Amino acid sequence: MPRELVTIQCGQCGNQIGCRFWELALREHAAYNSKGVFDEALSSFFRNVDARYVPPRNLPVGDGTGIIQTLKARSVIVDMECGVINEMLKGPLGDVLDTQQLISDVSGAGNNWAHGNHVYGPQYRDQMMEKIRCTVEACESLQSFLLLHSLGGGTGSGVGTYILELLADQYPDVFRFTASVFPSEDDDVVTSPYNALLSLSKLVEFADCVLPIENQALAEIVGRVDSGARGSTANTVPAAFGMVQEPGSRSKPFDSMNGIAAMMLLNMTSSVRFEGSLNVDLNDITMNLVPFPQMHFLISSMSPLTTPKDMAKISAPRTLDQIFTEVFNREHQLIRADPRHSTYLACGLLMRGNATISDINRNVARIKPSLRMAHWNTEGFKLGICSKPPVGVSNALLCLANNCAIAQTFTTMRDRFAKLYKRRFYTHHYEQYMDLSMFDHASETVSGIIDQYNAVDTAVPPPVTRFRSRGLTFL
């Protein structure tokens, strides 16, 4: 039975990452679906519709041999400014994005979380719930929601976390994943420390699993990939997938960075879409990698670090051992934390391509002695193998680490917030829409999660009790 994922792309960043995500997903499915049929793999992300009807009529997967008519992303598209959305609809993905599933306004949330969360959220609540309901109803067996957004602005952060809270209330049994772009320290949005802290507190409370992404880390990755390479490949794409943007077409700012984030999401969902000898679906990820409910932030790292468009930039094919070594290298992380010097609560290793469980076990055994695992979860590795690698490579590995190093990232965010809040800079913009006590509450929530991670990091294993033979006593 198909297991679908409903994506909610919110705000400029969320929509731009969404664009790359759909583009790369189509490219990947095109590579493995040469017959142009609507199969279970495709149906996890897309609907197949007969567009001659209004509204377009859904064509279910059935036995997986029906021809692709028109693919529509299972996505709800939200932005309180219309610029990015309009451009998306005019672009090559215009046909894939369902305008019925779109909510936009004109004036934007002005980089103000409170405007997004307390004004646009309630104002568009019913419309958003209706669009989400329609998208959910078109699924046979919904597996998870995936929110794509940034924390630094107003819409993705404020409306995005409002939606997350709604989902927790209305669909408590469906897992809520988020890919959340954290602002960099030199972010151009002056209020980003406020927006980021307020949204982070909501992610702690209402998400099941958060994949933090730092723009600074993405920019450094792109810089390294670019400096190591030249040229680009051209993959041929079957006609049914013809809306895919061809490599070499004009790229926008953030494009390559967003491609890296999108590739991570494709790797994470590969087992949901393709078969493999060791399937890890999204529920397995939360089940295995999140031992305590609020400690659900996973540091991601990948090898190779590229997208199909930039495939020629990989200097040389990697061996499995290299790939394993690289995912434990900070240069391959989508967030600049330092997990090697902190405690792992659990670690997911999702392999794509031609690898066996013994290959993986051998590498885990090789690397494990250098990792500090929580003493109560020393075997806390979740392993997955999906037979289909990303387009253009023979193997790829995604590492998802639930690691206490994330506490440092949160501490930096809280410090940036405190620096502004101490002097009440810009707070009057927020007071227009919310009570200032929200700041204190958010700060407490974030401090709480920092404390939880620090407590695990500094926990001392209980002494090993040794039973000594006392010998026999004769009375």
Ligand X SMILES: Nc1nc2c(ncn2[C@@H]2O[C@H](COP(=O)(O)OP(=O)(O)O)[C@@H](O)[C@H]2O)c(=O)[nH]1
Restricting to residues 30-89, name those near Mg ion by CB under 5 A: 81
What is the helix (H) or strand (E) element at residue 365, kind and residue range? Answer: helix 357-367
What is the helix (H) or strand (E) element at residue 28, kind and residue range? Answer: helix 11-32
Task: Examine residue 23 and tell whether it contacts ligand X (CB under 6 A).
Answer: no
- Edge-to-edge order in the sheet of strand 175-182: 102-104, 75-79, 4-10, 142-150, 175-182, 209-214
Q: Which is nearer to Mg ion, 86 or 315 (CB)?
A: 86
Q: Least CB distance from residue 16 to ligand X, whole Å?
A: 3
Alpha-carbon distances, residue 204 vs 4, 356, 450 (angstroms): 24, 36, 11
Task: Examine residue 191 and tell whether it contacts Mg ion (CB under 5 A).
Answer: no
Q: Which segment (26-34, 148-156, 335-343, 466-474) binds ligand X by CB under 6 A? A: 148-156
Q: Which is nearer to ligand X, 107 or 315 (CB)?
A: 107
Other Cβ atoms closer than 10 A to 227: 9
Q: Least CB distance from residue 416 to ligand X, whole Å?
A: 12
Using DSSP bridges, classify how beta strands 395-403 and 343-353 pair: parallel, antiparallel or unpaired.
Answer: antiparallel
Task: Examine residue 156 and tell whether it contacts ligand X (CB under 6 A).
Answer: yes
Task: Show the CA angle centred on residue 303, arms to residues 300 and 306, nearest 5°.
Answer: 100
Restricting to residues 96-125, name those near Mg ion by CB under 5 A: 108
Q: Which is nearer to Mg ion, 90 or 423 (CB)?
A: 90
Q: Which segment (254-262, 267-275, 362-370, 413-421) binds ligand X by CB under 6 A? A: 254-262
Q: What is the DSSP letter of 60?
A: -
Single out the residue of 7, 104, 143, 258 in contact with ligand X (rule: CB under 6 A): 258
Q: Which is nearer to Mg ion, 196 or 347 (CB)?
A: 196
Residue 316 and residue 464: Cα distance in Å, rounded? 47
Alpha-carbon distances, residue 412 vs 96, 238, 419, 458, 475 (angstroms): 39, 47, 11, 19, 67
From the list Mg ion, ligand X, none, pick the one residue 229 interacts with, judged by a Cβ distance below 5 to 8 Å according to partner type: none
Task: Examine residue 333 and tell whether it contacts ligand X (CB under 6 A).
Answer: no
Single out the residue of 5, 6, 8, 13 in contact with ligand X (rule: CB under 6 A): 13
Q: Least CB distance from residue 350 to ligand X, whole Å?
A: 22
Q: Least CB distance from residue 192 to ligand X, whole Å?
A: 6
Task: Examine residue 109 and tell whether it contacts ligand X (CB under 6 A).
Answer: yes
Q: Least CB distance from residue 163 to Mg ion, whole Å?
A: 15
Single out the residue of 121, 183, 339, 389 in contact with ligand X (rule: CB under 6 A): 183
Q: How many CA atoms lie within 13 A of 387 on its CB side?
A: 6
What is the helix (H) or strand (E) element at residue 76, kind and residue range? Answer: strand 75-79
From the list Mg ion, ligand X, none, pick the one residue 193 interacts with, judged by a Cβ distance below 5 to 8 Å according to partner type: none
**Could you tell me which residues come within 8 angstroms of residue 62 by beta carbon, excluding any fewer than 6 positions away?**
none
Single out the residue of 2, 11, 304, 339 in contact with ligand X (rule: CB under 6 A): 11
Q: What is the DSSP letter of 333?
A: B
Residue with the shortest CB distance to Mg ion? 12
From the list Mg ion, ligand X, none, pick the one residue 197 interacts with, judged by a Cβ distance below 5 to 8 Å according to partner type: none
Q: Least CB distance from residue 183 to ligand X, whole Å?
A: 4
Q: Which is nearer to ligand X, 183 or 304 (CB)?
A: 183
Task: Examine residue 16 and tell whether it contacts Mg ion (CB under 5 A).
Answer: no
Q: Which segment (42-50, 123-131, 151-159, 216-224) binds Mg ion by CB under 5 A? A: 151-159
How many residues contact Mg ion, by CB under 5 A? 4
Residue 284 and residue 266: Cα distance in Å, rounded? 16
Task: Examine residue 276 and tell whether it contacts ligand X (CB under 6 A).
Answer: no
Q: What is the DSSP letter of 64?
A: T
Alpha-carbon distances, residue 64 vs 36, 45, 60 (angstroms): 11, 15, 9
Q: What are phi and psi of 354, to 5 degrees?
A: -90, 90
- For 429, the token pair is 């913009």
Binding mask 263-302 for Mg ion (x = CB under 5 A): ----------------------------------------
**Could you tell me which residues come within 8 angstroms of residue 346 by beta carbon, excluding any fewer than 6 positions away?**
288, 289, 290, 291, 374, 377, 380, 381, 382, 401, 402
Single out the residue of 18, 153, 193, 353 in contact with ligand X (rule: CB under 6 A): 153
Restricting to residues 354-393, name those near ligand X by CB under 6 A: none
Q: Least CB distance from residue 231 to Mg ion, whole Å?
A: 34
Single out the residue of 75, 143, 178, 215 in contact with ligand X (rule: CB under 6 A): 215
Other Cβ atoms closer than 10 A to 201: 22
Report whether 306 contacts 225 (CB < 8 A): yes
Task: Examine residue 77 and tell whether it contacts ligand X (CB under 6 A).
Answer: no
Residue with the shortest CB distance to ligand X? 153
Residue 426 and residue 190: Cα distance in Å, rounded? 9
Report whether 195 contacts 111 (CB < 8 A): yes
Q: Least CB distance from residue 29 to ligand X, whole Å?
A: 23
Binding site for Mg ion (CB under 5 A): 12, 81, 108, 155
Binding site for ligand X (CB under 6 A): 11-13, 16-17, 109, 111, 150, 152-156, 181, 183, 187, 189, 192, 215, 218, 254, 257-258
